[in-house]
Chains A and B, each alone.
With several copies, the nearest count.
Chain A
């Protein structure tokens, strides 16, 4: 089992991360990746200038590691990567990249899905949108909570 969890203040490139992840494959037959990208429009409909993810040195990375460990214990995956951007993110740029590998594809799909559901609700970030009109804090949307509630409570 290999788990690679990173918090990055620099832009992240899903293509390069998938390349790094795939190069390490051994017997795995299935690889699933997810990347989430900053939208071009803020929640209030105005053009987004920047999405800002504030993080906490220590607690943010630890929350990501806890979520990744939970995924590896619940699903038959052999390898996982979780890379999250923090700081100022431009529209279109990647916010988060997740990859999972397994012998059979169902485990890789479910683990990536689970990782994203928990990251979107529980990872220690505080998010705000900056537009020409100012700055506005945002919280998880209802759909995020509904997605996270699909899974049995984590054992951690």
Chain B
């Protein structure tokens, strides 16, 4: 199989100002077997150029279900995934 065939498209929710550029949901191709949060961010930076600077500067965190996860955390295609810019607090 080619590398392309091993990928699957997941929907990622963009929170706060990350959604300023357009749709708050973007489709991102990740390995079908899942990947780490850091790898997801690399995929997003590739697929969504508008987010690349924030990601490169370490300003974007990955949330799975209801918790921010570390760079090494693994996520699976069926996870509910969101990207957070720095929170503002209440």
Residues of A within 8 A of B (CB): 36, 53-54, 56, 58-59, 61-63, 84, 95-96, 119-128, 137-140, 144
Contact = CB atoms under 8 A, between A and B. Distances in A.
Nearest to A95: B90
A127 B63 CA distance: 18
Contacts of A59: 63, 66-68, 82, 84
A62 to B, nearest CB: 4
A59 B87 CA distance: 11
B88 A56 contact: no
Interface string B47-90: 00000000000000001011110000000000010101111111
Contacts of B15: 54, 56, 126
A119 B67 contact: no
Contact of A123 (B17, B63, B84, B87): B87
A138 B88 contact: yes
Interface of B: 13, 15-17, 63, 65-68, 80, 82, 84-90
Given A56-B82, A59-B63, A123 B16 contact: no
A75 B17 CA distance: 36
Nearest to A85: B90
Given A56-B15, A59-B82, A126-B16, A140 B63 contact: no
Contacts of A54: 15-16
